[in-house]
């Protein structure tokens, strides 16, 4: 199967002035507490992850639920990017995992997990095990960071069709991966990240835990 050519991304047709990914400047966002928008994850314990090859990138079918406050979203699939698509304060990370959800009235939401290589951390779930369909959906909990502080904004999908009106939740604490996982990610999906898109005046809200807010007040 021939995959999407990211070298041609400047020719992709867009449908909105509010596109993704973006650079997130944490000094320029609206700050709120994590308690004002909690995230609760439920992964179907007995289900296996199933790989589905598609031209715009391999998709890994999974089932579960995400509660954003009281709003429910159903997990549809996940996929991976070699080199993060979103950046924090201009910093690109080693990779990015997207969990794609659907809510009421077919509302689309994507949760982004930034990946950072750390030789001193033990990787709970090697990414290659997911690629090889060797894990159950419930094991996806292991790619979630302990701190669920996150930035939300409205954007688009990052592969054609670049569907608009997508709610993004970008976790600001990265998931630590091994050098071996980074190498596997690059081997399977080399440089499959879209360029940073203009913010065009969009509002970004940062929901972070109370200790981070307290630290900021002391600075």
pLDDT per residue as tens digits for the range 160-202: 999 999 999 999 999 999 999 999 999 999 999 999 999 999 9
Nearest to 170 by CA among 197, 208, 200, 198: 208
Instruction: Kindly report the pTM of this predicted structure.
Output: 0.94
How many alpha carbons fall within 13 Å on the CB side of residue 113?
Answer: 21
- 64 and 73 Cβ atoms separated by less than 8 Å: no
Q: What is the pLDDT of residue 217?
A: 37
CA–CA dist 62, 159 (Å, integer): 20
Res. 216 pLDDT band, cuts 50 70 90: very low
- pLDDT of 159 higher than 60: yes
- pLDDT of 143 higher than 80: yes
Q: What is the pLDDT of residue 46?
A: 75
Nearest to 101 by CA among 69, 131, 62: 62
- Helix, strand, or coil (residue 49): coil
Phi, psi of 133 (to 5 degrees): 55, 40
CA–CA dist 86, 21 (Å, integer): 5
Nearest to 174 by CA among 93, 101, 109: 93
Q: What is the pLDDT of residue 219?
A: 31
Mean model confidence pLDDT for the chain: 92
Tens digit of each residue's pLDDT (9 = 90 or more) over 78-133: 999 999 999 999 999 999 999 999 999 999 999 999 999 998 878 889 998 998 88
pLDDT, average across residues 6-28: 96
Q: What is the pLDDT of residue 122?
A: 80
- Least confident range from 48-52, 82-86, 148-152: namely 48-52
pLDDT, average across residues 125-148: 92
């Amino acid at each position: 199967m021939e995959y999407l050519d990211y070298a041609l991304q400047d020719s992709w047709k867009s449908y909105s002035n509010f596109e993704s990914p973006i650079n997130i400047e944490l000094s320029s966002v609206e700050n709120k507490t994590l308690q004002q928008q909690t995230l609760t994850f439920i992964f179907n314990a007995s289900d296996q992850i199933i790989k589905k090859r598609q031209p715009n990138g391999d998709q890994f079918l999974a089932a579960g639920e995400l509660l954003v406050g009281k709003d429910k979203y159903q997990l549809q699939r996940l996929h991976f990017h070699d080199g993060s698509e979103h950046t924090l304060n201009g910093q690109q990370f080693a990779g990015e995992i997207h969990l794609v959800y659907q809510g009421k009235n077919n509302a689309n939401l994507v949760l982004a997990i930034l990946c950072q290589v750390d030789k001193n951390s033990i990787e709970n779930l090697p990414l290659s095990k997911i690629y090889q369909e060797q894990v159950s959906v419930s094991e996806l909990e292991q790619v979630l960071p302990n701190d669920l502080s996150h930035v939300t904004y409205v954007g688009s999908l990052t592969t054609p069709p670049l569907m608009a009106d997508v709610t993004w939740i970008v976790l600001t604490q990265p998931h630590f991966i091994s050098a071996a996982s980074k190498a596997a990610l690059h081997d399977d999906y080399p440089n499959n990240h879209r360029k940073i898109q203009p913010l065009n005046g969009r509002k970004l809200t940062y929901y972070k835990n109370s200790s981070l807010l307290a630290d900021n007040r002391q600075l």
